[in-house]
A and B are shown apart, each in its own frame.
Chain A
Amino acid sequence: MATINLDQLTKSYGPDEVLHHISGDINDSEFVVIVGPSGCGKSTLLRMIAGLETVTSGEISIGGKIVNEIEPADRDIAMVFQNYALYPHMSVRENMAYGLKIRKTPKDEITRRVNEAADILEIREYLDRKPRQLSGGQRQRVAMGRAIVRDPQVFLFDEPLSNLDAKLRVQMRLEIRKLQKRLGVTSIYVTHDQVEAMTLGDRLMVLNAGYVEQFDTPIELYERPASMFVAGFIGSPAMNFLTATGGDGLVILDNGTALPTRLSTSGPVIAGIRPEHLIAEPEGVLPVRVEMLEQLGANTLVHGVLDGSDIPIVASVTGIQSLPVNDVVRFTPGPDALHLFDANTERRLS
């Protein structure tokens, strides 16, 4: 098992720097998810750890050893690709055994390990099929199996579930999580799906345009997002942002409403409130003109604007609610629901 340390990692393609001074330490047996919008550099970072991309500057260590110049095959890692990258002309068994065969592992040892992995993933009956004779979910398992038989120090996953349908995705997500806990292998998992990230990761590294916005536990990201980007990215529906002016123990929204806070601030600030933390109350301080309702069964999303302005507000209320469109409903933020951000730097004011 191994720790992974990233130290001031930078990646440039020609003159374009796509990753900027990424640092972070990943503990032994930890499951870290790298999450961010498309094009933010997640895959590039993962591929640098795998050794498939060169490092422009900085250092990567696996198990305390600097691996910058070490070939992927010698880094003791296994990788699961988005499109699985199974060898189409080899059977499932051969696919799983290929890496071991190259390493000149004895035949009976290979058989034992392949069978063991096949049992764990319940793909034993497919061992003699070709990848094209398998469903997407089964291929996914084979790709995992190929990683497991290698018994590596580190698992790397690049959006392994994005080709599966929603239901299978949820199921495989749980399985990956269980498997990782059972094997205790340090894992890095790349996804752009924040739900997947929140459910899988011990810690999440949120990337935005090649910068690490925050690297912390899912709960911490949710409760204390370090920037407006993280606040907007984590949680669904996304956090509401309202421009406001800071004051002593309160902030004053643009429509004149004063909201209490434990912080003393001054000048322009951004107030963030999660939709699920808005409580409908007759005496509520935020009048919202309802524009549309989304009935999700367990809860109802109220889309509207702050009355007398065109600032969009989303609130999530429990149960099935039917509110007439164009009516004004009043909401109050729950206790501690207010997040304040600097209007210029967009960083959290704590």
Chain B
Amino acid sequence: MVENRPLLTVISHLILLVGILLIALPIWITFVAATHDEARMLQAPIPMLPGGYFWENFKRTLFGSGLSGTEIAPVWRMLANSLAMAMMISLGKISISLISAFAIVYFKFPFRMGFFWLIFITLMLPVEVRIMPTFQVVANLGMLNSYWGLSIPLIASATATFMFRQVFLTIPDEMLESARIDGASPMRFFWDILIPLSRTNIAALFVILFIYGWNQYLWPLLITTDADMTTIVMSIKQMLEAAEQSPQWNVIMMTALLAMIPPVFVVISMQKLFVQGLTETDK
């Protein structure tokens, strides 16, 4: 829609600016807090301009023991844990969903629709609902305090299966028939044609799932007791409670800042594919 109405333009820009400010302000405060020393952060009013302790806080948070006087693992370790968990969840979900959607769309087997609905029903059972039995299973399998325990229960995914099913349904039947005449086996068709054609959808889903995995809080909290297995999101909450004296805002905010970087990096690097994946119809 191309319109030329100055007032409308001004108003819409104003609304956008207010929106950006609302979203950006907390991030700015986080950043500012990460650049001051501990003492300054406890004085009111809180500073609105950056101070000179950024590198010091950065080093202390990332490589040091973080919060003074606690048993928390260094933040780089938590970042690595979170990264491993988020990657395992997103890649695991994508591969399993691709394969199950492939089976459901392209193969005739008994109770095919039954299986589809069975998968679909799990939508109604997110981890929070089935948390006790899931914990029991993971504990019995001896997967507490491990990456497997962190990621596997979150991998089986109806949403992704459902989405890939829709994507596959939009691919014309002739594509399959053409490949059959060309002599492609089912797996060959899957690799050479389905995967490349779903490329943008895979990227979009990866972004969403990575952030989903990265932001997991309850589940990691439940199954990790070992400080070495802490993820960054749960650590922030722990840091708030851990210190017996007043919270060390500079370290906590630096941790928060570091915690934001990987998701932002994923979104930015996948942006083009992500947008294509959500909007593209050219098949």
Contacts and interface: CB of A to CB of B under 8 A. Distances in A.
Interface of A: 47, 50-52, 71-74, 77-79, 81-83, 85, 87-89, 98-99, 102-103, 132
Given A73-B184, A85-B177, A87-B179, 4 more contacts: A79-B177, A85-B172, A87-B192, A102-B188
> For B180, B181, B283, which residue has the most chain A Cβ atoms within 10 angstroms?
B181
Nearest to A47: B177
Nearest to B282: A132
Nearest to A98: B182
Nearest to A103: B183
B196 A89 contact: yes
A177 to B, nearest CB: 23
B182 A85 contact: no
B123 interface: no
Contacts of B283: 88
B178 A81 contact: yes
Interface string B168-208: 00001011011111111000100011001101000000000
Contacts of A102: 182-184, 188
Nearest to B199: A89
Contacts of A73: 180-184
A146 to B, nearest CB: 8
B193 to A, nearest CB: 6
A80 B184 CA distance: 17
Nearest to B185: A102
Interface residues of B, number: 19
Contacts of B196: 89
Nearest to A73: B183
Contacts of A83: 172, 174
Contacts of B282: 88, 132
Contacts of A88: 197, 282-283
Contacts of B197: 88-89
Shortest Cβ-Cβ A-B pairs, 3 listed: A73-B183, A85-B174, A99-B182
Contacts of B182: 73, 98-99, 102
A79 B178 CA distance: 8
A329 to B, nearest CB: 51
A222 B180 CA distance: 38
Nearest to B181: A72
Nearest to A94: B192
Given A89-B197, A102-B188, A72 B180 contact: yes
A52 B180 contact: yes
Nearest to A80: B178
Nearest to A79: B181
Contacts of A81: 174, 177-178
A71 B181 CA distance: 8
Contacts of B172: 83, 85
Contacts of B175: 85, 87
A87 B196 CA distance: 10
26 contacts: A50-B177, A50-B181, A71-B180, A79-B177, A79-B181, A83-B172, A83-B174, A85-B172, A85-B174, A85-B175, A85-B177, A85-B178, A87-B175, A87-B178, A88-B282, A88-B283, A89-B193, A89-B199, A98-B179, A98-B192, A99-B181, A99-B183, A102-B182, A102-B183, A102-B184, A103-B183
Contacts of A132: 282
A207 B178 CA distance: 25
A52 B183 contact: no
B163 to A, nearest CB: 19
A87 B181 contact: no
Interface in B205-262: none
Contacts of B183: 73-74, 99, 102-103
Interface string B94-133: 0000000000000000000000000000000000000000
Contact of B193 (A52, A87, A99): A87
Nearest to B197: A89
A89 B188 CA distance: 15
> For B174, B178, B183, B192, which residue has the most chain A Cβ atoms within 10 angstroms?
B178
A98 B185 CA distance: 12
Given A85-B174, A85-B175, A77 B181 contact: yes
Nearest to B193: A87
Contacts of A103: 183
Given A85-B175, A132-B282, A78 B181 contact: yes
Contacts of A74: 183
A152 to B, nearest CB: 9
Contacts of B177: 47, 50, 52, 72, 79, 81, 85
A79 to B, nearest CB: 5
A246 B29 CA distance: 101
Contacts of A77: 181
Nearest to B180: A72
B118 to A, nearest CB: 26
Contacts of B199: 89
A150 B179 CA distance: 13
A88 B198 CA distance: 11
Nearest to A97: B182
B150 to A, nearest CB: 35
B233 to A, nearest CB: 37
B98 to A, nearest CB: 16
